[in-house]
């Protein structure tokens, strides 16, 4: 069971993330008039110029989603990395912005080196019309 330690560490991180998500307030409580949220996420590696992971879209399920945005680092060799973009996203949603962008550098490490991945996101949000 040579792989066990590594897998359980990953499983533990996943469990911790779920715990944080469960403990976080719901998105619908924080931004009650939010009706849709879509995040386009792109990760680039500053060290390897030009190399970037394909963009992907995360559609947030309003109603059950936590007001917490933790995105895993796309590098499988990265430890303790990842992106917590909760603050910029919640600030944008609270101020009812319909399009917003931001970025976050990974603070993890790959072996003895630090991870150089940078996450960029573009959010598109819709809000219920105020009556």
What residues numbered 6-65 form the site for Zn ion, per CB under 5 A?
none
**Cβ contacts of residue 70 below 8 Å, gap of 6+?**
17, 20, 21, 82, 83, 84, 85, 86
Using rule CB under 5 A, residue 71 touches Zn ion: no
Whole-number minimum distance, CB 13 to Zn ion, in Å? 12
Cα dihedral sign, 28-32-34-40 = negative
Whole-number minimum distance, CB 51 to Zn ion, in Å? 14
What residues numbered 97-116 form the site for Zn ion, per CB under 5 A?
106, 108, 115
Residues that bind Zn ion (CB under 5 A): 73, 75, 78, 81, 106, 108, 115, 117
């Amino acid at each position: 069971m040579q792989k066990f330690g590594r897998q359980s560490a990953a499983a533990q991180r996943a469990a911790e993330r779920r715990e944080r998500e469960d403990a976080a307030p719901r998105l619908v409580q924080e931004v009650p008039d939010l009706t849709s949220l879509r995040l386009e996420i792109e990760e680039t590696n500053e060290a390897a110029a030009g190399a970037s992971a394909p963009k992907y879209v995360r559609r947030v399920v309003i109603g059950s989603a936590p007001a917490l945005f933790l995105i895993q680092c796309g590098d499988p060799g990265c430890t303790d990395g990842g992106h917590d973009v909760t603050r910029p996203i919640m600030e944008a949603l609270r101020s009812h912005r319909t399009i917003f962008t931001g970025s976050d550098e990974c603070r993890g490490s790959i072996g003895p080196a630090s991870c150089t991945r940078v996450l960029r996101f573009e959010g598109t949000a819709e809000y219920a019309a105020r009556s």
